[in-house]
Amino acid sequence: MTDDETHHPRLVLLDEADGHIEGRAKYHKLLFNYADEEADETELTFVREERGPYDPGLSQAMQRYMDLGLVKIEEDAEPHEVEQTEKGQRYMSGYERAKMRLDESFRQTKERIRKTVRKHGDKSASEMVGEENVQDAKENPMRKELE
């Protein structure tokens, strides 16, 4: 079992981004940069889509998080704003405190995600699409799983 299977990197990434990510495309690129640059092993998989690497599990995870009241997506705005709810903030606070005490590897995962957000969080999705690692991933055939 990889650390990602128990560390919920999609949710931790949103929390590290101060509970707000401007659009799904940016969310996908942040996750890709985490997996590509920081994670030793990851459960996250990506396929090549029109605008580069895409995490097919993100939509399902977001739906679960919305059903639990941890996340809301502002569909009215473009790009769709992904925001952590107050309940999501309380959940992550407790989750992280417990994981820090019980799972030595969680601190490392959290630091790797924090590093990704510090490096790429202020960039737009378009800026991230222009980066070399994303451009390299775009050279793969459409819908092909990226390694």
pLDDT for 56-81, tens place per residue?
888 889 899 999 999 999 888 677 89
116-123's contacts with Cβ under 8 Å and 24+ in sequence apart are: 116/13, 116/30, 116/33, 116/34, 116/37, 116/38, 117/13, 117/16, 117/17, 117/30, 119/33, 119/37, 120/29, 120/30, 120/33, 121/17, 121/30, 123/26
pTM: 0.88
What are the tens digits of pLDDT across the range 1-58? 444 456 889 999 999 999 999 988 899 999 999 988 887 777 888 887 877 788 888 8
What are the tens digits of pLDDT across the range 68-120? 999 999 888 677 899 999 999 999 999 999 999 998 889 999 999 999 999 99
